[in-house]
Structures are given as structure tokens and as C-alpha cells.
């Protein structure tokens, strides 16, 4: 098995700047929420900034990147993303 990143490699907060800022006082969660499936959430202690549903074929890095962008939108525009409670396409 080929390793692409060292477990000792430092995290570069420039990769996910909004999440890096948020975890100083809030939290992110990634996991399974039945019956929705895999979700990623971001909260700041007062508000749920974003709740995203993992898309078919979406990697963890892609999901976290979308979460970072959604948190940035909440920070800058007070727009909160909720894919968990939104009507789902069949």
C-alpha cells in the first residue's frame, strides 16, 4: 500500500482556512446520520453554520473543502447551508 502523506506531516491551515478558524471555538463533525447517510456539520457554539450530505463518489477531502466553503459563506454573508433537512432528489 502506497502512503501519500506522512502521519507526522503538519496540517496546513491554508488548505481549509475557515475550518481552521472555526475549531478554535466551535466544532466540526463527520459521520453517518441515518437515514441520510454520511454528513459533515460545522457549529460555532451558537449556530449550526453548515450541514452537508456527502455526494456519491465524493472524497473526504472534497467534502471537507465544501464544508470549508460553506463555513466561509456563513462567516461572510450569514448564509447557512442545510443539505440534511433540504428536500432530497430521488
Confidence of residue 45 (pLDDT cuts 50, 70, 90): confident
Buried b (16+ CB within 10 A) or exposed e, 33-56: eeeeeebbbbbeeeeebbbbbbee
pLDDT for 39 equals 98
**Model confidence, pTM:** 0.83
Amino acid at each position: 500500500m502506497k502512503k501519500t502523506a506522512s502521519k507526522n506531516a503538519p496540517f496546513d491551515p491554508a488548505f481549509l482556512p475557515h475550518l481552521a478558524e472555526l475549531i478554535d471555538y466551535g466544532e466540526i463533525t463527520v459521520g453517518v446520520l441515518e437515514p441520510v447517510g454520511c454528513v459533515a456539520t460545522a457549529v460555532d457554539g451558537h449556530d449550526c453554520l453548515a450541514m452537508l450530505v456527502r455526494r456519491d463518489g465524493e472524497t473526504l477531502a472534497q467534502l471537507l473543502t465544501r464544508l470549508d466553503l460553506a463555513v466561509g459563506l456563513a462567516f461572510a454573508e450569514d448564509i447557512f447551508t442545510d443539505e440534511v433537512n433540504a428536500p432530497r432528489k430521488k
